[in-house]
Chain A
Amino acid sequence: DIQMTQSPSSLSASVGDRVTITCRASQGISSWLAWYQQKPEKAPKSLIYAASSLQSGVPSRFSGGGSGTDFTLTISSLQPEDFATYYCQQYHRFPLTFGGGTKLEIK
């Protein structure tokens, strides 16, 4: 199975900050990577697919980058509603696998 490692596992930031979350795959996955946002007691919400393509309706302050084994999710200017847990997922090979999550908290 392809292992997905996210860092950091938790992050404190303030409204207006620029933050970047990293996801590393244990082998090359080209650009077959998605990002999700999850708030407590809610279903995940799809943010990005194909490493850098924004899902419809997702604010442009979210952006994704990378290919191969190293990927990033960047939020350019944090808003109060962005405090949540973020997951990456590879869909290059079965089984699809997720990173362990990054919890973004208010400083």
Chain B
Amino acid sequence: QVQLVQSGAEVKKPGASVKVSCKASGYTFTVYYMHWVRQAPGQGLEWMGWISPNSGGTNYAQKLQGRVTMTRDTSISTAYMELSRLISDDTAVYFCARDRMAYSSTCPDYWGQGTLVTVSS
């Protein structure tokens, strides 16, 4: 069955960077785009962007351009999301989520369990 397992919680200081991993299993990793979505405490969902594991191509939300980098390692079926120059507003749970359609960007179907990133001095 499809599983997305994310790395553990992180605490970072303002100005630092964080890198969250998402290990996929149960399907061919390179076939489905991977989205990243975040949720601030008590708030709604915010789409951050996606990566094509096949090509490495990315599409980022303009709001995060210049601070977010999505990469992948196909040899271990793992996607990564790195966010730099962290501020307190970046405190959130970060989710990876697989796209539902092969080689396309549509909407997520399977979701990781989430990774809490806390930005605090």
Known: A44-B95, A46-B100, A49-B100. A55 touches B47 (CB 8 A): no
Interface of B is mostly: strand
B114 adjacent to A43 (CB under 8 Å):
yes
User: How long is the Cα–Cα vector from A44 to B35 in the complex, in angstroms?
Assistant: 13
Chain B residue contacts of A36, Cβ below 8 A: 45
B47 adjacent to A46 (CB under 8 Å):
no
A97 adjacent to B107 (CB under 8 Å):
no
Known: A98-B44, A98-B46. A49 touches B107 (CB 8 A): yes
User: How long is the Cα–Cα vector from A91 to B114 in the complex, in angstroms?
Assistant: 21
Is A23 located at the chain interface by the 8 A CB criterion? Answer: no
Is A89 located at the chain interface by the 8 A CB criterion? Answer: yes
User: How long is the Cα–Cα vector from A98 to B61 in the complex, in angstroms?
Assistant: 13
Within 8 A of A (CB), among B47-74: 47, 59, 61-63
User: How long is the Cα–Cα vector from A99 to B46 in the complex, in angstroms?
Assistant: 10
Is B106 located at the chain interface by the 8 A CB criterion? Answer: yes
Is A61 located at the chain interface by the 8 A CB criterion? Answer: no
Known: A43-B95, A49-B100. A91 touches B45 (CB 8 A): no
User: How long is the Cα–Cα vector from A43 to B111 in the complex, in angstroms?
Assistant: 7
B62 adjacent to A55 (CB under 8 Å):
no
Is A104 located at the chain interface by the 8 A CB criterion? Answer: no
B46 adjacent to A46 (CB under 8 Å):
no
A55 adjacent to B112 (CB under 8 Å):
no
A46 adjacent to B108 (CB under 8 Å):
yes
Return B3 CB to nearest CB of chain A, in Å.
12
Neighbour of B106 across the interface among A44, A49, A98, A101, CB < 8 A: A49
Is B84 located at the chain interface by the 8 A CB criterion? Answer: no
A91 adjacent to B95 (CB under 8 Å):
no
Is B7 located at the chain interface by the 8 A CB criterion? Answer: no
Q: Which 7 A-B pairs have the closest CB atoms?
A: A43-B111, A96-B47, A34-B107, A98-B45, A95-B61, A91-B107, A46-B109
In the assembled complex, 28 residue pairs joining A and B whose CB atoms fall closer than 8 Å, in A order, are A32-B106, A34-B108, A43-B97, A43-B111, A43-B112, A43-B113, A44-B95, A44-B97, A45-B111, A46-B108, A46-B110, A49-B100, A49-B106, A49-B107, A55-B109, A87-B44, A87-B45, A89-B45, A89-B107, A91-B107, A94-B59, A95-B62, A95-B63, A96-B47, A98-B44, A98-B45, A100-B44, A101-B45
